[in-house]
Structure 1
Amino acid sequence: MLSAELMCDRISSLKKANSAALARRRRSKRRIQKHRVLTKGAREDILAQNEADQQIAHEERQGRLIALLLDKEERDQASASGLKGAAPGARRPGTTRAHATLILLI
């Protein structure tokens, strides 16, 4: 009798596990049909892009301070070289603030 009860419990737990696995497969198939599954390479590309975006955002936050320091250095260089016509914070033509900070960071 005890073995019959154990067997019934085992069978019912297996049925529950089987139905749960079947439901997961159905959800997975629906998700794939709706959104398409990503390949491993595409997933890695997206993660790398997100990481690069976060790094750029972090550098931009820090870049504001670096740009201020760079502008001060350029003003000092302009005054040391005797360039009277240079405006405060002037950069080389064609150089943006982001470009100047990237030059400094590299």
Structure 2
Amino acid sequence: MCSWKKYHDRRLIQLSWNYNYGPAGRSIGFDGLNASETVSNNAVISFKTALWFWMNNVHSIITSNQGFGPTIRAINGMECNGGNSGAVQARIKYFRAHCKELGVRPRNSLSC
């Protein structure tokens, strides 16, 4: 693994740290450890990575009636409970914007 690589949040859903980029890359078909910037530079890979993270880390722990709040907790629980209210509000803002673009009305319970 390259020590100079930065594994940080990019694009549609948070994907951080090498322990996510490696498996996501192997599953999707890109070098997640040595070319993590692919997620930022390739819209298709970005979307596939978001779906990969959702299906592997979020989907199974969220029930259909919970809303967006538990998704934030599953993505980065440190932001909840006062850990980083600015990040939580930013996620809610982006979620609302994506819902609007898709013509979907979000449910209540947007915050963790």
TM-score (norm 2): 0.23
* Structure number with higher helix proportion: 1
Of structures 1 and 2, the larger Rg is shown by 1
TM-score (norm 1): 0.24
